[in-house]
Structure 1
Amino acid sequence: MIGPDKALRLAAELAADFARTAARRDAERILPTEELDRLSEAGLLAITVPASHGGADLPASAVAEVIRLLSVADPNIGQIPQSHFAYVRNLRQHGTPALRDRLFAGLLAGKRLGNAQSEAGTRHVRDIRTTLLPRGSGWTLTGRKFYATGALLADWIPVLAHLGADGPLHVAWVERTAPGVEVIDDWDGFGQRTTASGSVVLDEVAVPAEYVTAYDATFGGPQTYGSFAQLLHAAIDAGIARGAVTEAAAFVRRKSRPYPDAAVERAADDPLVVHAFGEVELAVRAAEALLREAAAAVDRADAALSAESAGEASLAVAAARAATTHAALTAAGRLFEVAGTRSAAAGLGLDRHWRNARTHTLHDPAAWKVQRLGRWAVDGVYPPNHGQL
């Protein structure tokens, strides 16, 4: 069984390998199929399977650090399992015993979950049109999803859909290869290019009743489903920030030329360069510290769930999300300021850090995280109880 220390060691070892080919995957848009297989083989995608089913049952703090380590190397690889881990939580809470037995056994054997949640062309991100309609003793699933991160490389796809035309949201668990399921590789974002975030088309897919779990009911009381999912997004951005600083520093040490007025032999000794690195390092360290604090808050809420503990977890994660957004954009943008003209060469692929940061930080507006923190500071009001906080 994988404990926290072993999970972090495995993640760090694999990340070191993944980093060597990250720029090439980005430039040529090579999906990380082999890399995801290695994560599965190492057991890192099964670390939240409950102990009652033979899993490691690791806490949110360990999962967030695994995601951060992977994202330092390649945030595409870090983002793909985010939905995987989020939907494991849904399965733990709402799955029938038979469904949990089957899917948890699959996860322990290396199976992967994707997601089919967001839809294009709707009024907002929580406007869902996909439906589950009655058919015999089960349901038929119809709809079209976009931004379905990881679906191309998944074995099972949890699909968010209304039960009936306008009933509560539920999750339909379908196999990627099931009749009526089509996964299209049509994601063309300029960043996070290899997250396998294409479209999922669902054409009257037959879903047995036991393969449908509650979703809206998750938010009927105190919960950490949203803060956990958002914590992992913060971990991705923290990883992007650290990866950008690390690669920029290596470039400055080895390849940058000093500015003549600095009167130094190395660009790395230019006081303006050193000061800029110090400012970026400050932002990144602050974001990493807030990420650890947020992870601890989610762990505390998981251990003793209440309206107060869940609210404190949401606030801590909101702070981490705002800070990691700032750190990722700052580090990836200022990389070129400190590294100089040579760093802009397309063949180096250093621009991928900014493109990845700019793309992933659009996932949830940081300004709304700050708004929630401000409302707490002014009136002591906890964030709303939904999946994005």
Structure 2
Amino acid sequence: MSTSLTSEAPGTGSFAVVGTGRVPVLDEAAALEVAATIARRLAVGAAERDAERVLPAEEVDLLSGSGLLALTVPREHGGPGLPTSVVAEVFRLLATGDPSIAQVPHSHFVYVNALRHQGTPAQQAFFFGEVLAGKRFGNAQSEVGTKHVRDHRTTLTPATGGGWLLDGTKGYSTGALFADWIPVLAHLDVDGPMHVAWVERSAPGVTVVDDWDGMGQRTTASGTVRLEAVAVEDARVMPYHLTFEGPQTYGAFAQVLHAALDAGIARAALTEAAEFVTTRSRPYPDAGVERHADDPLVVHAFGEMEVQVRACEALVAEAARAVDRADADLTEASAGHASLAVAAARASTTQASVEVSSRLFEVAGTRSALDGLNLHRHWRNARTHTLHDPASWKVQHLGRHALDGVFPPNHGQV
């Protein structure tokens, strides 16, 4: 890490990118305070970064040095081992500042969680140590052009003399450009079960291409990873398929962080709409008021949006607690209820983030549509990120359980 940034977090002292050594180990209160402080800092340049597509290398370094990326490292490995409820709130807070930057470490947390589930003691000791030293995990998971999102062609094949060779191409690789380590989903030996291959970002044969051109979440650098005969030793290969052979919260954990991101977008859109309406908007003449914010139709619209945002925030918090409850007593029923709670949160945050970021213009008036203000970034971010998983399928799973008591399928997307 080449950049050294220092910031003051009230009550927690300074936090800085360290590059080597250890990052701060934050308790729950400190984690939330640091996240809120960084969110305010991220918000300052969010519109400009989006408009000019300035990749947030310094800001991601700030996250690494703050200790936030180590929140789920288990206590027995020197981390704070904080629960999902805290991590989800950290994601929501960061997303109120800049949801693109908040999305960058999503896969980092998902693969720290994968290590907790399936890593060997040696793998856990090494990679948790890397996280505590400020290192970041990326993502090379999805592929473009396959039959569906869980269809993969990337393969680990036996190498002469031992170990494996990794070949394939991955898309939507959020976090890879900023990563130290890239976990890659691949078949073990052509048609074998899915495994995770841990490769260094700088390893020979690894190419990360910044070709992401989405209309929203523009600075996530969710581009392409090309893997050409990348050498992977046995100690860097971890089973993935075993995660789903019994009850699990792996998928629910990943999904609730996505929901928290969308809740953060919704809150940011509402906050910026309120600032615009109270400081820049002119009243409609028929309202008979001096200030646009005193128009009863505007007040009512903000009240409706506030209800919608508060509801989705509450569902995210409850979903995260459901994941924590399931982790404390993991059964088919507890895991199923966690997935249902997360499905409700994802459905709600999808609707709230898209609708509030669109209604922003209805309440703010014509001037709010000026491109230079970049208020439309909230809608673009919401519309882009909520496409990650179809919200309609979350509603389907909820409906099937309501009708027949059927739990969602046991995979990583719910």
TM-score bracket for this pair, using the shorter chain length: over 0.9
Aligned partner of 1:223 in structure 2 is 248
State the distance in 2 between where 1:134 and 1:91 align. Answer: 23
State the distance in 1 between where 2:27 and 2:150 align. Answer: 36
Q: What TM-score comes out, normalization by structure 1 length?
A: 0.99
Aligned partner of 1:308 in structure 2 is 333
Amino acid at match of 1:153: F
Task: Encode CA deviations 1:242-275: one digit per residue, 9 max, x unaligned.
Answer: 0000000000000000000000011100111111
Aligned partner of 1:200 in structure 2 is 225
From 354, 359, 373, give the equivalent of 2:384: 359
Aligned partner of 2:410 in structure 1 is 385
State the distance in 1 between where 2:374 and 2:203 align. Answer: 38
Deviation at 1:137, TM superposition (A): 2.0
From 144, 156, 171, give the equivalent of 1:146: 171
Give unpaired runs (5+ residues) of structure 2: 1-24
Task: Encode CA deviations 1:65-109: one digit per residue, 9 max, x unaligned.
Answer: 000000011100111111110000111121122222221111001
Deviation at 1:202, TM superposition (A): 0.2
From 65, 75, 79, give the equivalent of 2:99: 75
Q: The residue matched to 1:86 in structure 2 has which SS?
A: helix
Aligned partner of 1:173 in structure 2 is 198
Aligned partner of 1:332 in structure 2 is 357
User: Does residue 286 in structure 1 map to residue 311 in structure 2?
Assistant: yes
Task: Encode CA deviations 1:220-242: one digit per residue, 9 max, x unaligned.
Answer: 00000000000000000000000
Identity of aligned residues (%): 68
Give unpaired runs (5+ residues) of structure 1: none
Aligned partner of 1:368 in structure 2 is 393
Deviation at 1:197, TM superposition (A): 0.6
State the distance in 1 between where 2:244 and 2:121 align. Answer: 21
Task: Encode CA deviations 1:297-325: one digit per residue, 9 max, x unaligned.
Answer: 00001111111110000000000000000
State the distance in 2 between where 1:40 and 1:87 align. Answer: 16
Q: The residue matched to 1:132 in structure 2 has which SS?
A: strand
Q: The residue matched to 2:289 in structure 1 has which SS?
A: coil
Task: Encode CA deviations 1:119-154: one digit per residue, 9 max, x unaligned.
Answer: 111111011010001113211100000000010000
Aligned partner of 2:57 in structure 1 is 33
State the distance in 2 between where 1:42 and 1:325 align. Answer: 29
State the distance in 2 between where 1:89 and 1:106 align. Answer: 14
> Any residues of structure 2 matched to 1:75-224 within 5 Å, and which?
75-135=99-159, 136-224=161-249
Please provide the CA RMSD for this pair: 0.7
From 61, 67, 71, give the equivalent of 1:43: 67
Amino acid at match of 1:378: L
Aligned partner of 2:370 in structure 1 is 345
State the distance in 2 between where 1:28 and 1:103 align. Answer: 35
Q: The residue matched to 1:58 in structure 2 has which SS?
A: coil
User: Does residue 64 in structure 1 map to residue 82 in structure 2?
Assistant: no
Aligned partner of 2:4 in structure 1 is none
Q: The residue matched to 2:171 in structure 1 has which SS?
A: strand
Higher relative contact order (CA 8 A, sep 6+): 1
Q: What TM-score comes out, normalization by structure 2 length?
A: 0.93
State the distance in 2 between where 1:32 and 1:46 align. Answer: 20
State the distance in 1 between where 2:110 and 2:246 align. Answer: 18
From 321, 344, 356, give the equivalent of 2:346: 321
